[in-house]
Amino acid sequence: MAAIVPRISRATPSLSSLARATRRVVSGCAIALRAGVAPLKTSSASSSQPRYLSSQSSPPSQCDVAQASPSSAKGILPEFDLNGKVIIISGGAQGLGVVQAEALLEAGATVHVLDRQSEPPVGSIYQKVAQRARDELGTSIFYHQVDVRTGVDNLNSIVEEIAAKHGRIDGLIAAAGIQQETPALEYTASDADRMLGVNVTGVLMTAQAVARQMTRLGSTGSLVLIASMSGSVANRGLICPVYNASKAAVIQLGRNLAMEWGIKGIRVNTISPGYIVTEMVQKLFNEFPERETEWPKQNMLNALSKPEDYRGAAVFLLSDASRFMTGADLRIDGGHAAW
Ligand SMILES: NC(=O)c1ccc[n+]([C@@H]2O[C@H](COP(=O)([O-])OP(=O)(O)OC[C@H]3O[C@@H](n4cnc5c(N)ncnc54)[C@H](O)[C@@H]3O)[C@@H](O)[C@H]2O)c1
């Protein structure tokens, strides 16, 4: 795992205010959090009208974690090395996706981001990661604007072009997803279709586009689908029936794709994160302050996670370190679903 120790300061930023929402502190550094949040509908008992929160928050200040861990080549396991590998990340403009992109770049991969947003501007976390890849890590990250649900033809063309450019595609993280908090009795059919369309159909179309190119090239690879602990349990006090159903579907989709494609040497696994403290979550804490104290109590570590807590899992699942692992769900939730 030493291969993913930051060689120098990371581009992912910190939000000191959000750090208070976690009970843990990364050794010697501010807690780094994401730049934006998913489109979120909220609906409390007092209001039946869902409300969208912004997904375009301004990036927080930079976090320097250089002193967090000394860089050392000693003890690096070669299985974690991603040098020369080409990996696609959907939803990599911000949030968990961009933090995982940085981890893969640090491990040596070339990364292609697919996201429905236009390319993030100068000063964004994404651009800081891109600059770091260029200037410090000796690798590259490329950006492609595409909607994985409504732009499937475009999605396939882009993935084909990536395969042609490099002559290979080695992996995928399908992190593009949306969230909506609405009671089941108020859920509309169009909202349910939209949620399942992005979180399930969009993930399938992305995995399919990548596996299609791997099959055409006759290559092996590793696909990682971002699910959620919410795919295994109902979240106490968080009313997201269709989101949770979509994440259960992602877990089951992962098993089935693993079964179909294992014979080709294409592995498929899911990651199920617990609560990740992001700006979106911080806004929820502002609106529902009791969640800030209640949610950590719901897991065994009495803490909430941050995007950086999933860096190691991304490199592990995309590298040869996990070469005998497929059809599995890696639940990383502080024990939330293990009571
Ligand atoms: N934040 C959490 O607490 C949490 C917990 C468990 C799982 N997850 C999952 O992790 C993943 C990333 O979440 P996040 O918190 O970083 O969210 P986020 O909103 O910060 O990032 C999601 C990204 O996906 C992109 N996206 C959304 N719909 C898209 C589409 N149709 N086509 C292309 N791109 C699209 C967005 O533009 C955004 O850049 C999601 O799948 C989410 O469900 C998040």
Domain definitions of the chain by residue range: 2-338
pLDDT at res. 51? 30
Please indicate whether residue 247 is annotated as part of the active site: yes
* The pLDDT value given to residue 279: 66
* φ and ψ of 305, to 5 deg: -95, 170
Using alpha carbons, select from 173, 187, 213 the residue that is nearest to residue 89. Answer: 173
User: What is the position in ligand 1's atom list of the atom closest to the CA of 278?
Assistant: 1
Q: Whose CA is nearest to atom 43 of ligand 1?
A: 177
37: Cβ below 6 Å to ligand 1?
yes
Nearest CA to ligand 1 atom 13: 96
Indicate which residue of 187, 243, 275, 310 is catalytic.
Answer: 243
Q: How many residues does the chain have?
A: 339
Q: What local confidence, expressed as pLDDT, does residue 74 receive?
A: 67
Q: What is the whole-number distance in angstroms between the Cα of residue 95 and the centre of ligand 1?
A: 7
6 pocket-lining for ligand 1 (C-beta < 6 Å): no
CB atoms within 10 A of CB 294: 12
Q: How much is the pLDDT for 282? A: 77
Give the pLDDT score at 90. 98
Concerning whether 264 is annotated as a catalytic residue, the answer is no
Nearest CA to ligand 1 atom 40: 177
55 Cα to the center of ligand 1, angstroms: 10
Fold of 2-338: Rossmann fold (3.40.50)
Residue 278: predicted pLDDT: 75
Q: 57 CA distance to ligand 1 centroid (A)?
A: 14
270 lines ligand 1 (CB under 6 A): no
Pocket probe for ligand 1: among 116, 156, 280, the residue whose CB has the most ligand atoms within 8 Å is 116
pLDDT, one tens digit for every residue, the chain (339 residues): 333 333 445 676 543 333 333 333 222 222 233 233 333 333 333 333 333 222 333 333 333 333 334 444 566 799 999 999 999 999 999 999 999 999 999 999 999 999 999 999 999 999 999 999 999 999 999 999 999 999 999 999 999 999 999 999 999 999 999 999 999 999 999 999 999 999 999 999 999 999 999 999 999 999 999 999 999 999 998 999 999 999 999 999 999 999 999 999 999 999 999 999 876 677 789 999 999 999 999 999 999 999 999 999 999 999 999 999 999 999 999 999 999
Using most ligand atoms within 8 A of CB, pick from 57, 96, 179, 330 the residue to mutate for ligand 1: 96
Q: Establish whether residue 101 lines the binding site of ligand 1, counting it when its CB lies within 6 angstroms of any ligand atom.
A: no
Intra-chain end-to-end CA distance of the chain, in Å: 28
Ligand 1 centroid vs 98 CA: distance in angstroms? 10
| Ligand 1 atom showing the smallest separation from residue 227 Cα | 7
Atom 7, ligand 1: which residue's CA is nearest?
A: 228
Atom of ligand 1 lying closest to residue 305 CA: 3
Q: Up-side HSE of residue 46: CA atoms within 13 Å toward CB? A: 1
37 alpha carbon – ligand 1 mean position (Å)? 8
* pLDDT on residue 11: 72
Closest CA to 197 of 153, 148, 159: 148
Output the pLDDT for position 29: 28
pLDDT of 237 reads 85
If one residue of 12, 115, 181, 244 were mutated to test the ligand 1 pocket, choosing by the most ligand atoms within 8 A of its CB, it would be 115
Residue 170, C-beta contacts closer than 8 angstroms, at least 6 positions apart: 82, 85, 86, 87, 109, 219, 221, 222, 318
Q: Whose CA is nearest to atom 30 of ligand 1?
A: 147
Catalytic residue among 41, 247, 306, 310: 247
| Predicted local confidence at residue 44, as pLDDT | 33
Q: What angle do CA 319, 323, 325 make, to 5 degrees?
A: 110
Element (H, E) at 268: strand 266-273
